Amino acid sequence: MINGRKFHRIQLSAKATVHYLDSCHEGILGSISLGGATINFNGSAMIPQGDECIISVVLDETQPPLRLYARITNSSVYRIGVAFITMDEEKNNILYEMLKKLTHEPETLENEFQLFIALS
């Protein structure tokens, strides 16, 4: 999973809900980037690699949860790694602004965001 990353990850602990098929799995966001995230679960989630889901994350308590469409890139019993898919410009900007508040590497994030926009 590490070799496929295009963006640096920001380590944090925030609430996340994974909506998969007809179920919701409550978890904790372990890290997030412009392109994806890792989510840890207290119990078994068993979401297959390659499937799609919706991730709801709370990165800013003053804002409603951000809902992101994602594909499972790595899956184990208690943890998944996801790549974000089908994000429109508004969600890209919201995610970027939230990550700006959390990162210790603002210049790296800015460069990644500019490249991300150019490639979109």
Q: How far apart are CA 11 and CA 33, in angstroms?
A: 9
CB contact at 8 A, 40 and 28: yes
Whether pLDDT at 1 is above 80: no
Question: What pLDDT was estimated at residue 4?
Answer: 59
Strands in the chain per DSSP E = 10-20, 23-32, 36-41, 52-57, 66-75, 79-84
CB contact at 8 A, 105 and 96: no
Whether pLDDT at 117 is above 90: no
> Cβ contacts of residue 96 below 8 Å, gap of 6+?
34, 109, 113
Q: What percent of the chain has pLDDT over 70?
A: 96
pLDDT in tens, 64-112: 899 999 999 999 989 999 999 988 889 999 999 999 999 999 999 999 9
Neighbours of 23 (CB within 10 A): 10
Q: How far apart are CA 40 and CA 63, in angstroms?
A: 22
